[in-house]
Amino acid sequence: MKNFLVHNDEVKKEMLESIGISNIEDLFKQIPQKARMGELNLEEALSEMAVQKKIKSLAKKDNTNFTNFLGAGVYNKFIPACISQVANRFEFLTAYTPYQPEISQGTLQVMYEFQTMICRLTGMDVSNATVYDGATACAEAILMAVRISKKDKVLVSNKLNPEYINVIKTYCWAGNIEIQMFDEIPQNTSEYACVMIQNPDFYGELIKTPTVDTLLIVCTNISALALIEPPSQADIVVGDIQTLGLPMAFGGPYAGFIACKEKYLRQIPGRLAGKTLDAGGNSAYCLTIQTREQHIKREKATSNICSNQALMGLCATLYLTVMGEKGFKQASYLSTKMAHKLSEKLASKGIKTLNKNFFNEFVIEVDNADNILKQLKENQIIGGLKLNNNKILVAATEMITDEDIEKYVNCI
């Protein structure tokens, strides 16, 4: 066990001499002083018991008893308690990252079931087994369209989530792809690799899936597909799975999905799980169509994306399984019902909703957004996302009650 002891001064001196320097400071002399971290003002070490006591006292200072009307891509959804318990079962454990061939059968089966569920919801033929998040899914789908079409210009809706747009711009800058943003789709789109829209869009508005003469990518709220028609006219459908049993968790981790028509199967990035039979004739699962550069020649790889958010995909699969078709629809219906009820109550106070047709998110017009949000916060309500001085993006989920709505309206 001596190899695990902290190095003493003698060992440190021997190591430094072996690389031709006299002290540890010389290791960092190429780093400018202004870029270095200063002294850490740390308290004296505490025992484990003392640390636990201190952390608990600090945690008590956090006020988490807020009613949440904040959305913009991350939503406060009900998560059945059994999900975390089942996700921790040994069948899903693997000593490897979840893209290795040595992966456990349990995780591979969940990937396969996840793909099946995503295909059923989106109306697509095939789905991958997750990527990093919704933003990454959008950017990867655009790269996918560029490879398919051999064109280097793309059309992206201004009503896409701004964070997704920023990630797309980064990807496209690196890939020398020209982006043209739009409010209305141009009549002629044949010169572009794809058209990307979001439905419901960032402002919550439900739109009709357009017909274009190029590849169509639809970024969607996966929970909205419990109630609205799937975007089966699209060529590629992407989105985030945060609403499927994943907590808000201060912004992550989440996971994204990419689904597409079968003819584009070999251009889809990420991992795909397939089902086969083993030597004994039993069902067996394996990774298939491996398009990462770790598996095939770099020039033929679709992407070097190598994190398969398998735990997030597992939780989403468990959520859909536990909720079932009826429960999934009910949760989405309640989200919509509460959002429309809040909009109507606000209208009775003279606060206008700017959306005509929305799922569970809408934009209100106010005199002073900062004042409104401050008033709500003082009453333990996170009132929404400020878009500008006069507009607030408000969301509701099944977690919102009639009492929450009354309190929101009365506090304005």
Nearest to 219 by CA among 211, 235, 307: 235
User: Which spans in 159-280 are helix H?
Assistant: 162-174
Sequence-separated contacts (24+) of 208-214 with Cβ below 8 Å: 209/233, 209/234, 210/185, 212/185, 213/188, 213/189, 214/149, 214/189, 214/190
DSSP helix/strand/coil, 15: helix
Q: Where are the domains of the chain?
A: 67-77+324-410, 82-318
Which SS3 state, helix, strand or coil, does residue 264 take?
A: helix
Opening angle at CA 242, ends 237 and 244, nearest 5: 90
82-318 has which fold?
Aspartate Aminotransferase; domain 2 (3.40.640)
Q: Are 130 and 272 in contact (CB under 8 A)?
A: no
Count CB atoms within 10 A of the CB of residue 357. 11
DSSP code of residue 263: G
Q: What is the pLDDT of residues 349-367, one digit of tens each?
A: 999 999 989 999 999 999 9
Three-class SS state of 180? strand
Rounded Cα distance between 159 and 355, Å, is: 13
Q: What is the dihedral of CA 4, 10, 13, 17, to 10 degrees?
A: -100
Give me the residues paired with residue 286 across strands. Answer: 274
Q: Pick from 400, 398, 389, 385: which is nearest to 163 by CA?
A: 385
Q: Looking up tokens 């072996």, which residue turns up?
A: 18
SS3 149: helix
- Regions of the chain short of the pLDDT cut 50: 1
Structural contact between residues 192 and 153, judged by C-beta atoms closer than 8 angstroms: yes
> Are the beta carbons of 152 and 284 closer than 8 angstroms?
no
CA dihedral sign of residues 66, 69, 74, 75: positive
Give dist(CA 255, CA 239) in Å, integer: 9
Comparing CA positions, the residue from 391, 393, 411, 145 lying closest to residue 269 is: 145
In this prediction, residue 4 carries a pLDDT of: 62
The pLDDT value recorded for residue 103 is 65
Strands 391-395 and 153-157, sheet pairing: unpaired
Q: Quote the tokens at residue 400.
A: 């919102």
Q: What is the pTM of this model?
A: 0.86
Output the six-digit token pair for 286. 């394996």
Q: Are 200 and 159 contacting, i.e. CB atoms less than 8 angstroms apart?
A: no
Q: How far apart are alpha carbons 53 and 237 in whole angstroms?
A: 48
Domain 67-77+324-410 CATH superfamily: Aspartate Aminotransferase, domain 1 (3.90.1150.10)
The number of residues making up the chain comes to 412
Q: Degrees (nearest 5) of the Cα angle 34, 35, 38?
A: 75
Report the alpha-carbon distance of residue 385 to residue 250 in Å, rounded: 15
pLDDT given for residue 1 in this prediction: 44
